[in-house]
Amino acid sequence: METLNRKNPPVIQQITNISIPKLDKGFLGNGIPFSALSGGSQEFVYIHLTFNAGALYSNQKLVGSFTNNMLTCGTRNHTAQQIVDTFDFYGAEIQTNCNPDHANISLFCLNKYADKLLPLFCEIISESIFPESELKIAVANQKYKWTEEHESTKILAKEALLNQTFANHPYSRTAQLADFDKLTVDTLRDFHSKHYNSNNCQLIIVGYITNDVMKTIESTIGQMKTGKKVIADNFEIGETVSTKPLIITKETAVQTSLRMGCSTIKMQHPDYHKLHILLTVLGGYFGSRLMSNIREEKGYTYGISSTIVMYQQAGLLRIASEVKAGFAMQVVDEIKKEMQRLKDEPISNEELNLVRNYMTGELIQQFDGPLLSFDQIYKTVAYDVDMSYYTDLQNTILTITAKDLQATANKYFDFDRLATVIVGKE
Amino acid sequence: MCLFDNFAYKHICMINFDKFELDNGLQVIVHQDKTTPIVAFNVLYKVGSRNENPDRTGLAHLFEHLMFEGSINISDYDRHIQLASGENNAFTTSDYTNYYITLPKQNIETAFWLESDRMLELDFSEEKLKIQKGVVIEEFNQRYLNKPYADWRLIMHRLAYHVHPYMWPTIGKNTMHIEYAKLQEIKDFYFNFYAPNNAILVVAGDVETKQVKELAEKWFGPIPRRNTVKNELPAEPKQMIPQELEIERNVPLNAIYKAYHMGDRLSKNYYASDLISDILSNGESSRLTQRLVKQQNKFTNINAYILGSNDPGLFFVEGFPAEGVSFEEANKCIINELENIWKDPVSEDELTKVKNKIEMTKELSEVNVLNKAISLAYYEMLGDANLVNTDIINYQNVSRDDIEKTAKEMFTAGNSSTIYYKSAQKDK
């Protein structure tokens, strides 16, 4: 028998033809634009509405998120308990989620229960009454949660970085305990009636989409009341407040939360893919420069990452890590060194090839089935790009050169704008 | 309010698979799914933290890290995965250690090559051990020590178990055990437990059994069978006396944690206990949330869940008492609701609800090949891969009587362990 040569790797195929799914797009009867992707063998659907109703749309803190969270807290016809009983009974899931730009609500259910649940789903979106008693409970519980969360160095670091990078923009607004007590049901009802209508939202449907399901969606969501589209004011993103490290001391912390960042380009920008690839080289995968240096060579952290956090009005270039106490400044130096190296030296063909293959695989996996594709579809809906974003990304991954990456680093890695936040010891 | 349907699992698709064993004892399972370009490649080793020496805990997990640091013929495991457009990761539990790769089906042989080499032998070194100790200690810090409240699990395991190795969590008793682990101990651990005859390989995706068989024979076939010695695990005696502990930490709010001993993963008791935990706290409509948070305002947040483990496990309740609610009162409220499982018996609708949730969870767990591969390996470890299809019937068969009987047996004072997690900030 021929002996096996284990030192020789099997031949690897570079994948060059990823099939980015095509969405079914259209409008419901009342004008709600929808994007749908059907597939999978499990008979369930995920139905997701995105409203222009995030934190950005109110001058008062917390109004966006409380309105969104409290959609399940009662309508004229159903109490909060009846609502949650019904969704739970059918094994379905209602999720609400509010970010600075958008308020989201989704229903996840087996197809066979869609006709039983969609009418109630629409009712809570259109006819929520925000009972006083429910607001009281929600405020008390959220205040507790806030207090608990603000013990964590991660939350403190996240907020501090936003303050350093998005100063004066509503994105940097953070709620304090007193803000919870200022909430009233009237404010929420006002905000709700202005923002939760069929002209101010977009619909995404993924899963096993049958004609029956579409008919039910049309006769429920397609009948939701109309209203006015709300457009957010365009706020200016200011300059980075300071590039001097902001240190928040927390003596009890065993680890230090380190964040670095600056405002950067948005998804629509022609350089976005290049910057995304560059940040993958720096700290976007296990074999990245930062992971190799700080975790695998030095053992200072369990993980470190670099990425672009997306917002409608800006992007945030961010590097994040939980670092061994006492080593934060050393890690800051190493991060800067790695960034400088990307500005000074083109990356090798070998590394570029590795990143290409890795990112291609990532893209294939992100579109493996309708449910996993949802996150990618959401990005297009929420940040005003279309699915060609992903074919462009794929092309850029395959064609980007070392020179392009170096130029991108020189353009967007600007130490004069890079804020540093350190929360913990040192 | 609604006309509720009966629980129906007619929609549930079967997961078909083939199974064979290599001469060296490696069990191989193949599941074909032609709908995806991705192949999942999963290797489960039947070793976890319960197999550790009580004086050297955390070794199984530390070892998991070393599996990525190079094998006898291949120095850079991760790089080859990335080159093959794949992703990989691993996790360690008290009962087993699981490694997985997902990659485009064209590159499936890379997975065979990499996984078989690290089953054959690792390239151990002092330097690599030293660095991974650092990483694992930072993981310990990040997950358990730098996170408010997170150390309760370390404490609870110590409180609830007295002889069984579940008395320490997978991460280990403390960071010292990790710091002082010696290279020889690591090597012994490997040669004792990382053997083809102690592992299960699952390949799921657009593959043919014949192709998998050939590749498995080629890459895994030559690995010699090893003499794996498993320590006899001491059975935890029935707990008769309530265990209580008050601890003070620099956290903003009080918390209370309770644990009750329950059955092992394949016992009838397990399925009833799982459903009880769902009745108590799965979803907004559940009993603990509705009664203790929304109606009585005694807690701001409360949860119940179970630890499904090969040996008898634990049923947990964790809650944050509301302002002005003492530990004593909070504890009483919880006990009251646990006893209500039989005093205010579960209705047929309530039982149907939690069974519907289980069905949904099962459907969800089968959306991608990776989840299916992990499930198949897990059930094969329990004794029968086909449980992936039939386990739901065990839930189906739980009756209201079973629920009451299980709760009555489990929720006794003698069987309970309680941690009063006191906020040092509250005294100020």
Six-digit token string for A371:
């449910």
Question: Where do the structural domains in chain B lie, given as residue ranges?
Answer: 18-219, 243-427
- Euclidean distance between CA atoms B190 and B339, whole angstroms: 46
Which residue in B2, B138, B369 has the most chain A C-beta atoms within 10 A of its own C-beta, making it the best mutation to test that interface? B138
Contact A353 B83 (CB under 8 A): yes
**Contacting A residues, span 54-113, partner chain B, CB-CB under 8 Å:** 72, 80-82, 84-93, 109-110, 112-113
Q: Looking at residue A79, what DSSP letter applies?
A: B
Say whether A255 and B146 touch across the interface (CB within 8 A): yes
Number of neighbours of residue B64 by Cβ within 10 angstroms? 20
Within-domain flag for A5? no
Distance from CA of B233 to the nearest CA of A (A): 32
> Under CATH, which architecture does the B243-427 domain have?
2-Layer Sandwich (3.30)
Quick one: A207 and A319 in the same domain?
A: no
Residue A96 CB-density burial (10 A; 0-12 exposed, 13-18 middle, 19+ buried): middle
Q: How confident is the model at residue B9 (pLDDT cuts 50, 70, 90)?
A: very low
Within chain B, what is the greatest distance between any pair of CA atoms?
Answer: 69
CB contact under 8 A, A91 and B367: no
CA nearest to A204, candidates A27, A39, A378:
A378
Q: Hey, which residues of B are catalytic here?
A: 64
Together in a domain, A259 and A206: no
| CB-based contact A298 B134, cutoff 8 Å | yes
A144 in helix, strand or coil? helix
The verdict on B40 touching A (C-beta cutoff 8 Å) is: no
Which chain B residues touch A69 with a CB distance below 8 Å?
none
Q: Which residues of A touch B2 (CB under 8 A)?
A: 86, 89, 116
Distant-in-sequence, close-in-space partners of A351: CB < 8 Å, separation ≥ 6: A281
Helix (H) or strand (E) holding A51: strand A44-51
Report d(CA A366, CA A369) in Å as an integer. Answer: 8
> Could you give the CA distance from residue A54 to residue A52 in angstroms, rounded to a whole number?
6
Angle formed by the axes of helices B348-365 and B400-410, nearest 10°: 90
Give CA–CA dist B281/B296, Å, rounded.
Answer: 16
More confident residue, A148 or B7: A148
Q: Name the closest residue on chain B to residue A370, using Cα atoms.
A: B367
DSSP label of A20: P
Cβ–Cβ under 8 Å, residues A285 and A291: yes
For B218-331, list the strands marked E by DSSP. 243-249, 255-261, 299-306, 314-321
Number of domains composing chain A? 2
Q: What 8-state DSSP symbol labels residue B237?
A: P
Helix (H, G, I), strand (E, B) or coil at A178: helix
CATH of the domain at A387: 3.30.830.10
Amino acid letter, B136: V
Inter-residue contact A47 to A121 (CB < 8 Å): yes
Chain A residues touching residue B347 (CB < 8 angstroms)? none
What DSSP state is assigned to residue B120?
A: H
Contact check, Cβ <8 Å, A144/B253: yes
pLDDT in tens, A220-269: 999 999 999 999 989 888 899 999 999 999 887 889 999 999 999 999 99
Same domain, A92 and A179: yes
How many residues are present in chain B? 428
Question: Shortest Cα distance from B201 to chain A (angstroms)?
Answer: 19
Alpha-carbon distances, residue A393 vs A13, A270, A399, B82, B291 (angstroms):
20, 11, 10, 18, 50
Nearest-angstrom CA–CA distance, B173 and B56: 9
Examine the domain organization and report whether A286 and A328 are in the same domain. Answer: yes
Residue A400's domain comprises 246-424
List all residues of chain B from 292 to 311 with a beta carbon under 8 Å from chain A. Answer: 293-294, 297, 300-301
Does some domain include residue A240? no
- Does A241 fall in a domain? no
In a domain, A2, yes or no: no
The owner of tokens 């009974």 is A89
Helix H segments across B8-162? 59-66, 77-83, 108-120, 126-140, 152-160
Flag whether A238 is in a domain. no
Pairing of strands A255-264, A315-324: antiparallel
Residue A203 lies in a domain: yes
Amino acid at A369: G
Contact B1 A85 (CB under 8 A): yes
pLDDT for the residue numbered B1:
27
Can you read off the two tokens belonging to residue A94? Answer: 């209602």
**In-domain check, residue A371:** yes
Q: Give the CATH fold of the B18-219 domain.
A: Cytochrome Bc1 Complex; Chain A, domain 1 (3.30.830)
Residues B338-374 pLDDT 10s? 999 999 999 999 999 999 999 888 888 888 899 999 9
- Rounded-to-integer distance, Cα A167 and Cα A392, Å: 33
CA A199 vs CA A203, A214, A230, A313: distances in Å:
11, 19, 9, 21
Signed CA dihedral, B83, B86, B91, B96: sign only: negative
Q: Are A82 and A29 in contact (CB under 8 A)?
A: no
End-to-end Cα distance, chain A: 62
Q: How is residue A93 written in tokens?
A: 């899931």
User: Do the Cβ atoms of A253 and B146 come within 8 Å?
Assistant: yes
Chain A CB contacts of B421 below 8 Å: none
Quote the CA–CA distance of B214 and B234 in Å, as a whole number: 41
User: What residue of B is the nearest CA neighbor of A295?
Assistant: B135
- Give yes or no: residues A120 and A47 share one domain: yes
Examine the domain organization and report whether A284 and A144 are in the same domain. Answer: no
**Is A89 close to B349, i.e. CB distance below 8 A?**
yes
d(CA B101, CA B38): 10
pLDDT in tens, B374-402: 999 999 999 999 999 999 999 999 999 99
Q: Do A12 and B364 touch (CB under 8 A)?
A: no
List, in order, residues 6 or more apart from A56 with CB less than 8 Å away: A64, A100, A101, A170, A171, A232, A235, A312, A313
CA distances from residue B329 to B7, B159, B252, B291, B295 in whole angstroms, order as listed:
38, 22, 19, 14, 16
B423 interfacial to chain A (CB closer than 8 Å): no
Nearest CA in chain A to B103: A361
* Separation CA A83–CA A211 (nearest Å): 26
In angstroms, the CA B262 to CA B427 distance is 36
Q: Where are the alpha helices (DSSP H) in A51-97?
A: 63-69, 80-89
Tokens 């459903």 sit at which residue?
A: B275
Give the nearest chain B residue to A108 (CA atoms). B360
The complex's ipTM works out to: 0.84
Measure the CA–CA gap between B163 and B157, rounded to whole angstroms: 11
Structure tokens that stand for B157 in this block: 């395991």
**What is the helix (H) or strand (E) element at residue B58, kind and residue range?**
none
Q: Please, which residues bridge with residue B205 across strands?
A: B32
Distance separating alpha carbons of residues B85 and B232, to the nearest angstrom: 42
Q: Is the pLDDT of residue B200 over 50?
A: yes
Could you tell me if residue A290 is inside a domain?
A: yes
Q: Which of A89, A109, A132 to mutate to test the interface with B (most CBs of B within 10 A)?
A: A89
d(CA A252, CA B146): 8
Calculate the dihedral angle through the C-alpha atoms of B166, B167, B171, B173, rounding to the nearest 10 degrees.
-160
CB contact under 8 A, B79 and A253: no
B256 contact A CB<8A: no
Query: CB of A146 within 8 Å of any CB in chain B?
Result: no
Indicate left, alpha or beta for A346 from its phi (over 0: left) and psi (-120 to 50: alpha).
beta
- Quick one: average pLDDT of B152-181? 93
Mean pLDDT across B107-128: 95
Separation of alpha carbons A149 and B320, rounded Å: 13
A260 and A212 within one domain: no
A364 to B85: CB separation less than 8 angstroms, yes or no: yes
For residue B203, what are the β-bridge partners?
B30, B41
The rounded distance, in Å, linking the Cα atoms of B311 and A12 is: 42
Query: B90 — contact with chain A (CB < 8 Å)?
Result: no
Is the CB of residue A368 less than 8 Å away from at least one CB of chain B?
yes
> Mind giving me the DSSP string for B344-384?
TTPPHHHHHHHHHHHHHHHHHHTSSHHHHHHHHHHHHHHT-
Of B421, B413, B248, B418, residue with least CA distance to B320: B421
Test A144 with B222 for CB contact under 8 angstroms. Answer: no
Which residue in chain A is spatially nearest to B79 when comparing CA positions?
Answer: A287
pLDDT in tens, chain A (426 residues): 457 899 999 999 988 888 899 999 999 999 999 999 998 878 899 999 999 999 999 999 999 999 999 999 999 999 999 999 999 999 999 999 999 999 999 999 999 999 999 999 999 999 999 999 999 999 998 998 999 889 889 999 999 999 999 998 999 999 999 999 999 999 999 999 999 999 999 999 999 999 999 999 999 999 999 999 999 989 888 899 999 999 999 887 889 999 999 999 999 999 999 999 999 999 999 999 999 999 988 889 989 999 999 999 999 999 999 999 889 999 999 999 999 999 999 999 999 999 999 999 999 999 988 888 999 999 999 999 999 999 999 999 999 999 999 999 999 999 999 999 999 975
Pairing outcome for strands B299-306 and B416-423:
unpaired
- When scoring A137, A143, A254 by the number of chain B Cβ atoms within 10 A, the one with the most, hence best to mutate, is A254
Closest partner CB to B104 (pick from A39, A300, A361): A361
- Concatenate the DSSP letters of all residues of A187-201 into one string: HHHHHHHHH-SGGGE
**Nearest residue in B to A366, CA atom:** B38
Q: What is the pLDDT of residues A335-372, one digit of tens each?
A: 999 999 999 999 999 999 999 999 999 999 999 888 88
pLDDT averaged over every residue in chain B: 92
A with B: how many residue pairs have Cβ under 8 Å apart? Answer: 221
In angstroms, rounded to a whole number, what is the distance separating the alpha carbons of residues A6 and B71? 11
- B133–A299 CB contact, under 8 Å: yes
CB spacing of A255 vs B142 below 8 angstroms: yes
Q: Phi/psi at B71 (nearest 5 deg)?
A: -110, 180
Same domain, A259 and A214: no
Tens digit of each residue's pLDDT (9 = 90 or more) over B33-73: 998 999 999 999 999 999 999 999 999 999 999 999 999 99
Q: Which of A368, A372, A374, A397 to mutate to test the interface with B (most CBs of B within 10 A)?
A: A368
Check CB contact of A407 with chain B, cutoff 8 Å. Answer: no
